[in-house]
A and B are shown apart, each in its own frame.
Chain A
Amino acid sequence: MVAAVAETVGPARVARVRLQIGSLAGVVPDALRFCFDACSRGTPLDGATLEIEEIAARGRCRRCAAEISMTTFLDPCACGSTEVELVAGQELRIKDVEVEVH
């Protein structure tokens, strides 16, 4: 992620990075924050603020088409069906960055 941002913005110092992380994306935001400092050291992202927007997982029932909020992959629909297709919650995106311009 640090490399992707550095490649895009070049040598300019990055002040802020905003990420969108789904609740079922398989990434722990706290762990990401923890390693961000270490990974960004010596790069244009050194010292940047990391903002993580967590996106709640939602699923659509394959049987009744209802949309439900989900906290695990196994949450059943209110109709009883366990065949729920995940429609949000697996995002792992860099939304934008703020670059200092002098």
Chain B
Amino acid sequence: MCATCGCSGTESAEHEHEHEHEHVNEHEHAHAHPHAPHEHELEHGPGHGHAHDHDHVRRVSLEQDILAKNDRLAARNRALFLARNIAAFNFTSAPGSGKTSLLQALIKRVGGQFPLAVIEGDQETARDADRIRATGTPVVQINTQTGCHLDAQMVNAAVTALDPPRGALLLIENVGNLVCPAMFDLGERAKAVVLSITEGEDKPLKYPHMFRAAGIVVLTKIDLLPHLDFNLDECLANVRRINPEARIFQTSTKDGAGLPAFCDFMASQVAVTRA
């Protein structure tokens, strides 16, 4: 269940049964009087007619972010990555933008320089994990079933299973979706949003939350430029309007264009994390 975005998923439902009790006494601090926790306000219970119209109602102040639990778990992931000098990146995009192809190309170029590990997120099938496994890279596939995004708990479980070595580059491929994954911190160093040029130059404006949340924007299928009515300059301007600080790369896994710059940047991120 995901009340944030309205989707439902077995995977995300599982972690909600984990209990944490840091919040138990939070409401006491919000009351003006020290004895307030036991003070009952008399109010009419909604929809109960006359029989119960003297129900006691106690107001409990929560002042809690709806995503607080995910954020706590993401902070735990981030601490784990920091302790092990792991550089983790969360790749998001619309379905079919070429995330897996980009990761395969990255693995091919940087493989051997440092340890690699991949977490694949899809609603169904292990097809992407199979493609990554074929490169010899350790991979865990998460199937979210009806869920539309990865959350910090799923990533934590996958990291436990993968057990990436110190100094690794951890590539997390999120479910193809430009909406909900923008809101769920997984503990990554940065989000990398992948945009294939067949999707149109206005995508950053149409999905501003995701493009704002990203530290890296990777344009893919750039080899198709001569065949499309895609205005590259306008696309780049749109990205910068939404997110002036994002690092932008233009790549093609077909002819290899732009891959050296992207892969060198990712390697530099690993070097920074290991330092």
Contacts and interface: CB of A to CB of B under 8 A. Distances in A.
Interface stretch (B57-65, B115-123, B127-135, B252-260): B57-65
Contacts, number: 108
A3 B64 contact: no
The 3 closest A-B pairs by CB, nearest first: A3-B16, A101-B56, A1-B3
A93 B65 contact: yes
Nearest to A73: B208
8 contacts: A4-B62, A16-B46, A31-B5, A32-B3, A74-B242, A94-B64, A97-B62, A101-B40
Interface of A: 1-5, 7-9, 15-16, 19, 26-27, 31-32, 34-36, 39, 47, 49, 72-74, 82-83, 92-102
B69 interface: yes
A60 B256 CA distance: 42
Interface residues of B, number: 44
A26 B60 CA distance: 26
B259 to A, nearest CB: 31
Greatest chain B CB density within 10 A among A8, A9, A34 is at: A8
B55 A100 contact: yes
B183 interface: yes
B45 interface: yes
Given A19-B66, A26-B209, A49 B3 contact: no
B241 A94 contact: no
Interface string B170-181: 000000000100
B57 A101 contact: yes
A72 B60 contact: no
A4 B58 contact: no
A94 B62 contact: yes
